[in-house]
Amino acid sequence: MDNEVVLAINPGSTSTKLALYNREGPIKVEKIDHAGTEICNMMSMSEQLPLRVDIIRKTFKPWLPGYKLVAVVGRGGLVKPIKGGVYMVNDDLMDDTINCKYATHASNLGASIAHDIATEYNVPAFVVDPVTVDEMIPEARISGVPEIERKSRLHALNVNACVRREAARQGKPIEKTRFVVAHLGGGITVAVADRGKIIDCNDALMGMGPFSPERAGALPLEPLIKMAMSGSYSFKDLYRKLTKNSGLKGYLDTGDVREVLTRIDDGDEEAALVYRAMIYQVAKEIGAMATVLGGRLDGIIITGGIAYSERVVNDIAERVRFIADIAVYPGENELESLAAGGFRAIDGEQAIQTYVSESEE
C-alpha cells in the first residue's frame, strides 16, 4: 500500500502541471511550460492531445520505479452541469470535452490525457469536481429575468477539497457541516457548502459576485447595456474585457495583488481605494451567502492563491468574523485535490459516478 501512487494532471493553456502522489502527499511535482512551442499555436484540443500525452509520458515515466500506479486523474473540463464527485473517464466524457461541446478551455484535455495514460498502465482514469458542478437549490437559479438562469460555475475542485479538510479538522462528517467558502484567485468564488453539496455560488466566470483581480463581477445594468450597444465592442471584445481586463486590472493595469499592496504601501491612494472596494465586495458576498444558511454555519473558509496574503485575509476577516470562525487554506491545491479524489475512489471512500452525455439521457 505504501508504494501505491496516483498521477494527477492539470492541463493549462500554456503549461501542464502534473504530480505523483501517495497517500501521504506529493512524491514529485512538475510544471511543463508550453510557451513558445507548437502546442500554443494549435487551436483544437484534439490536435494538442497526442503531443501533450507524449510530453507527459516522458516526464513522469522516470518517477515510477519503486511505485505502483493505481489511477490517473485529470482536471475535469467544461461539461454539462453535474453533481460533484469522482467520475470514471468514459467515451461520453471524452467526447464532450475534447470536442468542446460546452466551451473551450485547456482543462478539456484532462479526461482524454488521463485516459490515454491510464490505458497504457491498465489502471482507471478519473476526473474530480469539474468547474460545472451544479447542485444549486431551485431558488438560487432564479435571476429575475425569465429568459436568464443563474449558472453554477466555480472553483468546485478546491472548494470541495477545503470543505473536506476543514470538516476533518473539526472532527465532523462532511454530511453534517455547513460552510461559506471564498476562493480568491484571478476569479473569485464565494459558495455555500451545505452538508457536502454546493447549493449556491456566484458565477465565478461571468456573473454575480465581487469583482476580482481580472473579472468584473456584478455590474449596474443600464451602463452595461449602453456599453454593449455602443458599437465600440464586438461580443468577443466585451466578453474579454469583462473576464480578463476588469477588476483590479481594469482600474490599476495589474491583476497582481502583491503589486497592488506594494503600491498602497508607497502611497498610491487609487490603488488603496480599489483594493478596499474588492475586499468590501468579497466580505459582502460572504455575508450574503451566510444568509442562505440562516447564519448557522460551522465556519468561513478562505482559500485560493490570494489567501497566501495574510493582509488580504485579515482585511476580509475584520468584516466577517462576527458571522463565524475563519479557517484559511491558501493556494488552489488542484493537483493535491485531484490525487485525493483518485485515492478516495480507489479506496472505496467515495462512489464513482458515470457521466452521460445529454443526448443519451
Residues 133-171 pLDDT 10s: 999 999 999 999 999 999 898 999 999 999 999 999 999
Dist CA 299 CA 271 (whole Å): 30
Dist CA 72 CA 114 (whole Å): 5
4-135+335-360 against 156-331: fold identical: yes
- Per CATH, the number for 156-331 is 3.30.420.40
Q: Which residues have CB under 8 Å from 303's CB, separation 6+?
A: 158, 159, 162, 181, 182, 183, 184, 328, 329, 330, 331, 332, 333
- Inform me whether the pLDDT recorded for 361 exceeds 60: no
Indicate the CATH number of 4-135+335-360 among 4.10.93.10, 3.20.20.70, 3.30.420.40, 3.40.50.620: 3.30.420.40
In this prediction, residue 206 carries a pLDDT of 82
- Inform me whether the pLDDT recorded for 248 exceeds 60: yes
320 pLDDT band, cuts 50/70/90, is very high
- Shortest CA distance to 314 belongs to which of 246, 261, 268? 261
Sheet of strand 125-128, all strands in order from the earlier edge strand to the far edge: 25-33, 15-22, 4-11, 68-75, 125-128, 86-88, 352-354
Sign of CA dihedral 96, 98, 104, 107: positive
Dist CA 320 CA 324 (whole Å): 7
Dist CA 252 CA 260 (whole Å): 8
pTM: 0.91
- Inform me whether the pLDDT recorded for 35 exceeds 70: no
- The pLDDT of 175-198, averaged and rounded, is 96
| Average pLDDT along the chain | 94
Q: How many CB atoms lie within 10 A of CB 37?
A: 13
Whole-number percent of the chain with pLDDT over 70: 97
In this prediction, residue 260 carries a pLDDT of 98
In this prediction, residue 302 carries a pLDDT of 98
| Residue ranges of domains in the chain | 4-135+335-360, 156-331
In this prediction, residue 204 carries a pLDDT of 86
Dist CA 317 CA 319 (whole Å): 5
- Residues shown for the chain: 361
- The pLDDT of 316-329, averaged and rounded, is 98
Q: Beta strands 178-184 and 25-33: pairing type?
A: unpaired
1 pLDDT band, cuts 50/70/90, is low
* pLDDT tens per residue across span 202-243: 998 886 899 999 999 999 999 999 999 999 999 999 999 999
Dist CA 56 CA 17 (whole Å): 9
